[in-house]
């Protein structure tokens, strides 16, 4: 037992030492490239057959952001976000999968898609899907899809209509739309201070967003120099539908005398040497496994 115990301690020490050396000495720069890619050979590309509704209407021109989620410096997940827009419409595709040790617990994938219209500088979603696909050829597919048709919202799960409180959609945007909308706000030279409505499954919530000013906390380097970012902090509050008590709503139900965490999620935006802000770093606090960092590792301009 002692040998096992000391071996674990040695592994942890070596792991921490490696991450510190990687961070302070040899942390790689974010690669910024313009490229074309094939979904057939790309492990993180969103397969066409997964998104059965609202196919792309604005082509592939846009950006692709590759992130790694880490805990104690170890990679536990990989996330890809693709954003494209025209003068009148936009589309966001996100894929996520477990990586490293966490992959042992589950090797399926998650896919999210949002698409909508742009008018007077405002982004308004019309379709959002949350789809999970199990591992292997026989992996089960579970989908939650929301879209507006003839002025009414529809919510389906596994292909069947689902009852919901229509108030969850009152003035609401999906989380992906909000993330890229805030980037557009920063592009205009404005602060990201805002109060916005959003939703997840059968819960409608309010997001209080506070501009945290210019920072340099991500550690990301471009051309050998650390970038600066604008930090936007968010706190979520139950608003309509099914009330959630778990993260990130636990602060609403904190016992008397306990101080709720000021900021549950922080999203950092940077121009990365370009003309427009993009999300580059996300810190998610107080999850069931503690704080998680989601960091940009590659940025591509798609043709």
Quick: pLDDT tens for 128-151: 999 888 766 666 788 889 988 878
Start-to-end CA distance of the chain, whole Å, equals: 57
257-285 per-position pLDDT tens digit = 676 666 789 999 999 878 899 999 999 98
What six digits make up the tokens of 208? 């209080």
pTM for this entry: 0.82
> Range with the lowest mean pLDDT among 22-31, 58-67, 113-122, 273-282?
22-31
Question: What pLDDT shows up at residue 199?
Answer: 94
Across 94-103, 104-113, 136-145, 146-155, the highest mean pLDDT is recorded for 146-155
Cβ 145 vs Cβ 128: under 8 Å = yes
Exposure on the CB side of residue 106, measured as CA atoms within 13 A: 12
Cβ 283 vs Cβ 266: under 8 Å = yes
Question: What pLDDT shows up at residue 140?
Answer: 78
Confidence class of residue 40 from pLDDT cuts 50, 70 and 90?
A: very low
Q: Report the DSSP beta bridge partners of residue 25.
A: none
Question: What pLDDT shows up at residue 283?
Answer: 94
Cβ 131 vs Cβ 117: under 8 Å = no
Cα separation of 99 and 77, whole Å?
5
What six digits make up the tokens of 251? 């602060």
Cα separation of 280 and 269, whole Å?
6
Residue 207 has pLDDT above 80, yes or no: yes
Question: What pLDDT shows up at residue 19?
Answer: 42
Cα separation of 208 and 214, whole Å?
19
> Range with the lowest mean pLDDT among 1-10, 79-88, 264-273?
1-10
211-264 per-position pLDDT tens digit = 999 999 898 988 888 899 999 999 999 999 999 988 888 888 887 767 666 678
Question: What pLDDT shows up at residue 209?
Answer: 96
Question: What pLDDT shows up at residue 159?
Answer: 83
Question: What pLDDT shows up at residue 273?
Answer: 77
> Range with the lowest mean pLDDT among 8-22, 111-125, 150-164?
8-22
Rounded to 5°, angle at Cα 110 from 105 and 111:
170
Residue 21 has pLDDT above 70, yes or no: no
If we measure between CA atoms, which residue out of 12, 30, 52, 80 comes closest to residue 226? 30
Annotate 252-302 with DSSP letters as a single string.
Answer: GGPPTTPPPPS-SEEEEEE-TTSSS-EEEEEEEEEETTEEEEEEEEEEEEE
Number of C-beta neighbours around residue 218 at 10 A: 21
If we measure between CA atoms, which residue out of 15, 22, 26 comes closest to residue 71? 15
- Assess whether the previous peptide bond of 248 is cis (omega < 30° from 0): yes
Annotate 95-138 with DSSP letters as a single string.
Answer: EEEE-GGGGGG---EEEEEEEEEEETTEEEEEEEEEEEE-SSTT
Residue 45 has pLDDT above 70, yes or no: no
What six digits make up the tokens of 291? 């704080």
Question: What pLDDT shows up at residue 11?
Answer: 36
Residue 9 in 3-state DSSP? helix
Question: What pLDDT shows up at residue 300?
Answer: 87
146-197 per-position pLDDT tens digit = 988 878 898 888 888 888 999 999 999 999 999 999 999 999 999 999 999 9
If we measure between CA atoms, which residue out of 69, 39, 63, 61 comes closest to residue 296? 69
CA distances from 291 to 73, 76, 264, 283 (A): 11, 12, 10, 7
Question: What pLDDT shows up at residue 289?
Answer: 76
52-64 per-position pLDDT tens digit = 334 455 555 688 9
């Amino acid at each position: 037992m002692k040998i096992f115990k000391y071996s674990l301690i040695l592994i942890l020490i070596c792991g921490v030492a490696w991450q510190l050396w990687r961070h302070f000495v040899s942390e790689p720069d974010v690669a910024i490239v313009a490229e074309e890619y094939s979904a057939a050979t790309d492990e993180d590309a969103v397969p066409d057959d997964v998104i059965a509704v609202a196919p792309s209407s604005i082509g592939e021109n846009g950006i692709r952001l590759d992130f790694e989620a880490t805990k104690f410096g170890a990679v536990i997940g990989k996330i890809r976000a693709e954003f494209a827009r025209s003068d009148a419409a936009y589309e966001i595709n996100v894929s996520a999968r477990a990586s490293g040790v966490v992959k042992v617990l589950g090797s399926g994938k998650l896919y999210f898609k949002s698409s909508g219209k742009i008018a007077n500088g405002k982004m308004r979603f019309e379709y959002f899907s949350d789809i999970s696909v199990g591992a292997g050829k026989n992996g089960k597919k579970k989908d939650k899809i929301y879209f507006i048709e003839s002025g009414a919202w529809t919510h389906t799960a596994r292909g069947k209509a689902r009852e919901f409180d229509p108030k969850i959609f009152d003035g609401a945007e999906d989380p992906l739309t909000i993330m890229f909308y805030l980037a557009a706000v920063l592009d205009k030279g404005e602060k990201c201070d805002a109060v916005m409505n959003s939703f997840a499954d059968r819960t409608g919530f309010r997001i209080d967003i506070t501009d945290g000013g210019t920072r340099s906390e991500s550690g990301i380097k471009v051309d050998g120099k650390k970038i600066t970012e604008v930090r936007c902090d968010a706190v979520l509050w139950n608003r309509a539908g099914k009330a959630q008590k778990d993260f990130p709503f636990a602060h609403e139900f904190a016992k008397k005398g306990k101080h709720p965490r000021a900021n549950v999620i922080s999203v950092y935006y940077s121009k990365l040497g370009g003309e427009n802000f993009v999300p580059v770093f996300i810190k998610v606090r107080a999850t069931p496994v503690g704080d998680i960092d989601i960091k940009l590792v590659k940025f591509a301009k798609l043709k």
